[in-house]
Chain A
Amino acid sequence: MNPGLLKLAVVGSRSAYGRLTGIAGGVAAGVCLLLLLWGGANGLSARDDRGAWLRETGSPSVAASPTEDPTTAGPGAQVPLTADTVLMEANPAEVFRDQLISRRDVAALGSTTVKIPGIGHPPEPGRYYASPALQRLIESTPRDELGDRFGSFAGTIDEAALPGPDSLIVVTGAPEADLRQNGRAFLVSDFTTNAYGGSAAAYNTVLSIGAIAVFFPVLLLISIVTGLGAAQRRERFATLRLIGASPQVVWRIAAVETSVPSLIGAVLGVGLAILLRPAAAQIPVNGTRMFAADLTTGWAAAVVVVAVVFAASALVAAHRTARAGIGPLGVTRAIHEKTPTMWRSMPLFAGLAAMIAAVLMIRVLKVRHWLESPLLIVGFLLILVGIVIIGPWLTRLASRIGLRQARSASAVIAASRMQQTPVATFRSVSGLVIAVFVVSVFAGGSSIIESTEVPPARPGLLQPTSLHATVNAGHTPAQAEDATRKARELSGILSATVGFGPGALSGPDAGPEIYLRAADAPGLGFEDVPATETVAVDASFLYDWTTQPLALSPAPAANLDGMVPVVIVLGTDGTPEAMDRARTLLNNSGVTAHSATSTLDAGLQSSTRLIQGLAVLAYLGMFVAIAIAGLSLAVATASAVLDRKRVLGLMRLMGMPVFVLRRIITREAAVPLLTVLLLSVGLGFLVAWLMVTFIDDTYQMTWPEPGYFMALGLSLLLALGAVTATFGLIRGTSPMTATRFE
C-alpha cells in the first residue's frame, strides 16, 4: 500500500487527529484498567497464598479416647509436644474496635525445629510478634485497651507472611499448660500453603465469574472507542473507492488507522498502569490495602495485552469495514441494519439454562462432576453476551411502541432512529446495562454477608454494649469475683456480673440455665426481676442468634453455694474504649475459656472466607463496572453525535431548537437503557442466587445493602452526566452549513 495514500487517508484532516486521539485515549484507559484488574486478581491470589499459613489446623493435641461410647469416655491422653511440633491455638474472636485480629497462641520446646512463617522461632511465653499494622495500633492505643492482651513485643512478622500491609496478625507465646487447658489447641509440624482448602474449586469458579464480570465492561469500552467516528470514516472510504481504491486497500487502511492509535493507546495504558499501581494499591479490599508489588502482572502479560489489543482492533476494524459494504457510491448497508428478531434471546436463555443445569446437578441431583464449574462459567459468559445481543431486539420492540405513542418531533425522531438502527442505538448504552447487571450480581451475592444483623438492645437479651466470656473449668467463685472487682474499677464499665451453674458450660456437667444474684440482673438489662435472692435464665441468653427476649425465673436454690462460675458479663457504656478495656481485662483474667465477645462481633466473624472473597470482587466490580460504563456511554453518545453531524445540522437549519436536539439524544439513550435495565437487575439477582446456591444452598439472599441502590442511582446519574456532556458537542458539531458542505 502506498504510504502517502495511507497517510492522507488516516490523518488527512484535522478532525482525524481528534478521532485518533479519542481512540488512543480510550484504549489507554481500557488497557490501564485491564492491567490493574489483572494485577488485582493476581494480588488477591498472592495475598491469599501468603495468608494460607493462618488456615493451618494441625492435628489434635489430645489422643482419641480408647472407648467408642462418648458418654463413658474419659479425657483422652495428651499427645506430647516434641521438637518437630508446636502447640497452637487459633483465637477466633480477638477483636479491637470493629476489626478482627488473627491471633495465634503458640507453645514450643526450646529445641523446636518448627519455623513459623514470617517469624521463624516461636516466641517465648509472654512475648509476641505482631504485623507492622497491629504493632502501630498497639503503640498508638492505651495498653489496657489492646497491648496488655499480648505481653511484651518480640518483633514484627515479615511481609512475606502477611496478606496485606493492613493485616492485623499476632503470634503470642504461651505456656504449654495454658494452651492445653481447654483442649482446643492443636499440634503443628508444618504450615499449609493451600489458601482455600476444600472450597478451592468453588472459590476459583466464583473468582473466574468475577473476573469475567469485571473484564467484560473493559473489553466493551475498548470496542466502543475503536468504533469512534465510524460514519465519518465510511464516507471517506466511499470517496477512496470512488477514485479507484479496491475493497482490499480500503479495509487495510481501516485496519491501520484503528490499530496504530490502538497500539499507541495500549502502550500508554501499560505506562499508566505502572504509574497508577502504587495509588491503586491504596484501595482497601476486604479490609486491607495491597502491597504495590502484588499488582504487578509482569512484562509478559503487558506484552500479551498490547499485542492482543493491537491485533484485535486491526481485525475488527478490517472486518467491520469489509462488512459495511462500502462501494464507490457510498455505504450500501449502513442504514439498513438487519432487523433484530426473537432469535436474539437464544444466547441469554442458553446461558441461564447452563447455570440452572449446574445448580441442579449439584443441589438436586447431588451429582459431583467436573462439568458443573465450566457450565456455571460458560453460562455466566453467555448471559453477559446474551444481554448485549438481546438488547437491540428489546430496544426495537420498545421503540415500535414508542413510535405509535409519539406526539412530539423529538419523540418521533428518536423512536424512528431506534426502530431503524436498534443495534447502533443499544451499543451506546450496552456498557451501562452490563454494569448494572454486574453490580446486581455482586450486590445479590454479597447480600448474604449483610444478612447477619445485630439484634437490637432489648430487655431479656444480651446487651450489644456488653462483653462476656465463659469461665474455664476448675476456677473458683473467688477467682471470678476477683476479675469482676477489677473490672468495676475500670472507666466505662457499668456492671460486672458472674453467672453460675452446676459445671463449666463447655463441660459434661453444664446445666441448661445460668444462675445469677437477683441484684445483678438489672445490670444485664432485665427489667422484671423475681423477688428472690437468686434468679435463673436459659443459657441461650449468651448466644448471638437468640432474638426472642428471655424471662428470669426464681432459681431452684435460694443461694449459689456449690455452684461454679460459668460466665462473666461486663456491661459497658458502649464506647469503643470501654469495650476494648473490658475485652483486655477479661482475656487477661486467666479464668476465661474463650476471648471475650460481644453480639456486635458476630458481623465480623460470620462471613466465611469464600463469601469474603465474593465481597472483595463485589466492591471492586461495582466500582470498575460503573466507572467504565459511564465512560463508555459518554464516548458512544459523543460518537453517535459526531456520526450524525449532517442530520443534526439539517434539523437545526429547519428551525429545530437545540433543546429539541438534546431531547432526541437523551431519549435515544434513555429508552434502550430503561428497557434493558429492569431485565439487567432481575437477571443480576437471579444469577447471584444461582451462584450462591451453587456454593452452598444454606446461604440466604436478602435485600441488597443501601450501597447497591446508591450504585444504581450513580449509574443513572452517570448516564445523565454522560449524555449531558455531549450537549455542548451538539451545538459545536451541527453547524447548519453542514447540510451543504458535509
Chain B
Amino acid sequence: MSTNDTAVPILSARGLHHSFGQTEALRGIDLDVHTGEVLAVTGPSGSGKSTLLHCLAGVLVPDGGSVTYRPAELAPMGISSLGEPKRARLRLTDFGFVFQFGQLLPELTAVDNVSIPLLLSGTRRPEAQRRSTELLERLGLEGIGAKLPGELSGGQAQRVAVARALVTSPAVLFADEPTGSLDSLASENVLTLMLDLVREAGTTVVMITHDARTAAYADREVIVRDGAIGAGYRVSA
C-alpha cells in the first residue's frame, strides 16, 4: 500500500528518548506506523534501529516520550505507560516477532514451537496443533512438524519462526533482520512467503534491516542515524 495523509496510524511514537548508560540510543524520534503497511527501518549498525523496534513493541520502556497503539481509536493505548503484565498480554495477542536467528525453543518440535502463542492465549492443544500445522504447510513446510529446530535448515527454521509470529493473526509483526542469517535465495523465499501472508491478512509489519534488497520489499522506509530519523525518507508506490 502507499502512504498518504489519510492513512490510519496503528502505532505512534512521539519524542522517543532512550539511553544505555552514557550511550544515547534514541534522541527524540517521532514516527507513525500505518495500518497494513510494511515499514522498513534501515540504518547503520548502532544507529538505534533495534532500540526503536523494542520501544515500539513494548519490549523496552523508553526513558522519554511515548508510544501509542491505535492512536486514532476511541480508546488509544499508551504502550509505554503500561505495566509489564499488560505489555506482555499485548505482545501475545496483538504483536508477533521474528528475529535473525536462534529464536525457536530448542527442545520443542516445530509444530509445538508454533503452537506456544496459541496455548498461551488459551487455545486447546489439538486445535493449536491443527492451526499450526496448516500454517506450516502454507509456508511450504509440510512434514517437518515433528522435527526439532536442530534438525531444520536455516531457511526452514526461519519459516517456522514466521509461522509462530503469525499464528495468532497479530495486528503488527515486528521483524528484526528476519533474513540476516540466510543466503540470498533462502532470504528471498522467506520474505516472499512472509509478506504474502501478512498482506493477505492486512497485518502491519515493522522490519529492521540494513540490506537494501530486503528494504526494497517494504512499502515505506525510514532511515535511523545516531538515534534520530535521518534524511532519505523513502515512500514506495
Residues on A lying within 8 angstroms of B by beta carbon are 335-336, 406-409, 412-413, 416-417, 419-421, 646-647, 650-658, 660, 736-737, 739-740
Candidates A407, A412, A421, A654; contact of B91 at CB < 8 Å: A654
Taking a contact as CB atoms under 8 Å apart, the answer to whether A650 and B105 are in contact is yes
Tell me the minimal C-beta distance from A271 to chain B in angstroms. 39
Determine whether B27 belongs to the interface, using a CB cutoff of 8 Å to chain A: no
Q: Is the CB of A421 within 8 A of B107?
A: yes
Residue in B106, B115, B119, B120 whose beta carbon sits within 8 Å of that of A420 in the complex: B106
Contact among A336, A412, A417, A653 with B115 in the assembled complex (CB-CB below 8 Å): A412
Q: With contacts A408-B119, A412-B112 known, what are 13 further pairs, Cβ within 8 A?
A: A335-B107, A336-B150, A412-B116, A416-B108, A651-B105, A651-B116, A654-B91, A655-B90, A655-B93, A655-B95, A656-B88, A736-B60, A740-B176
Contact A420 B92 (CB under 8 A): no
Q: Which of A420, A653, A654 sits near B148, CB closer than 8 Å?
A: A420
B108 touches A739 (CB 8 A): no
Q: Which of B74-82, B96-104, B196-204, B228-236 binds A?
A: B96-104
The residues of A that contact B119 with a CB separation of less than 8 Å are: 407-409, 412
A398 and B54 alpha carbons, distance in the complex (Å): 39
Enumerate chain B residues within 8 angstroms of A407, measured Cβ to Cβ.
119, 124-125
Show 19 A/B contacts (Cβ-Cβ < 8 Å), sorted by A: A335-B148, A407-B124, A407-B125, A408-B119, A409-B120, A412-B112, A412-B125, A650-B105, A651-B116, A652-B88, A653-B91, A655-B90, A655-B95, A655-B120, A657-B89, A736-B54, A736-B59, A737-B59, A740-B50
Q: In the complex, what residue of chain B is closest to A655 when comparing beta carbons?
A: B92
Find the residue from A408, A420, A736 having the highest chain B CB count within 10 A. A736
B171 → A minimal CB distance (Å): 13
B92:A416 contact, CB within 8 angstroms: no
B105 touches A413 (CB 8 A): yes
A419 touches B107 (CB 8 A): yes
Q: Return A103 CB to nearest CB of chain B, in Å.
A: 67
- The answer to whether A657 touches B85, judged by C-beta atoms less than 8 angstroms apart, is yes
**In whole angstroms, what is the CA distance A421 to B150 when docked?**
14
Counting from the closest, the 10 A-B pairs by CB-CB distance are: A655-B92, A655-B91, A409-B119, A420-B107, A417-B107, A416-B107, A416-B108, A736-B59, A409-B120, A655-B88
Binding site for A on B (CB under 8 A): 50, 54, 59-60, 84-85, 88-93, 95, 97, 99-100, 102-103, 105-109, 112, 115-117, 119-120, 124-125, 148, 150, 164, 176
How would you classify the secondary structure of chain B's contact residues: helix, strand, loop or mixed?
Answer: helix
Chain A proximity of B111: nearest CB distance (Å): 10
Is the pair A650, B125 in contact by a Cβ cutoff of 8 Å?
no
Distance A412 CA – B113 CA, assembled complex (angstroms): 10
Q: How far is the CB of B216 from chain A (nearest CB, A)?
A: 24
| Min CB–CB distance B169 → chain A (angstroms) | 14
- Chain B residues with CB below 8 A from A335, complex form: 106-107, 148, 150
Q: What CA separation (Å) do A740 and B119 show in the bound complex?
A: 24
With both beta carbons as reference points, the residue of chain A lying nearest to B126 in the complex is identified as A407
CA distance A647 to B102 in the complex (A): 9
Q: Which residue of A lies closest to B87 (CB)?
A: A655
Query: Are B108 and A412 closer than 8 Å at their CB atoms?
Result: yes
Report the separation of the CA atoms of residues A623 and B115 in the bound assembly, to the nearest whole angstrom.
45
Q: Tell whether, in the assembled complex, residue B99 and residue A739 are in contact, meaning their CB atoms are under 8 Å apart.
A: yes
Given known A-B contacts A417-B107, A647-B106, A654 and B59 have beta carbons under 8 A apart: no
Contact of B89 among A655, A736, A737, A739 (CB under 8 A): A655
- Which residue on chain B has the smallest CB distance to residue A414? B107
Query: Cα distance A653–B54 when bound, in Å?
Result: 10
Asked whether, in the complex, the Cβ of A416 is within 8 Å of the Cβ of B109, the reply is: yes
B105 to chain A, nearest CB (A): 6
Question: CB-CB < 8 A to B100: which residues of A?
Answer: 740
Q: Report how far A336 CA is from B91 CA in the complex, Å.
A: 31
Question: Is the CB–CB distance between B50 and A409 below 8 Å?
Answer: no
C-alpha gap A647/B93 in the complex (Å): 20
List of B residues within 8 angstroms of A656 by Cβ: 88, 92, 116, 120
Report the separation of the CA atoms of residues A655 and B164 in the bound assembly, to the nearest whole angstrom.
12
- Contact A653 to B59, CB < 8 A, known contacts A335-B106, A335-B107, A413-B116: yes
Q: Tell whether, in the assembled complex, residue A406 and residue B125 are in contact, meaning their CB atoms are under 8 Å apart.
A: yes
Residues of A within 8 A of B125 (CB): 406-407, 412
Q: When chains A and B are docked, how far (Å) is the Cα of A311 from the Cα of B229?
A: 58
Determine whether the beta carbon of B105 is less than 8 Å from that of A416: yes
Nearest B residue to A731, CB-CB:
B84
Is the beta-carbon distance between B112 and A416 smaller than 8 angstroms?
Answer: yes
Taken together as a complex, chains A and B put the C-alpha atoms of A419 and B108 apart, in Å, by: 9
Instruction: Return B154 CB to nearest CB of chain A, in Å.
Output: 12
Contact B107 A660 (CB under 8 A): no
Known: A655-B117, A737-B54. A413 touches B108 (CB 8 A): yes
Contact residues in B for A646 (Cβ distance below 8 Å):
102
**Other-chain contact of B60, A409, A652, A737 (Cβ < 8 Å):** A737
A740–B177 Cα gap in the complex (Å)?
10
Q: How far is the CA of A214 from the CA of B123 in the complex (A)?
A: 48
Q: Name the A residues within 8 Å of B106 (CB-CB).
A: 335, 420, 647
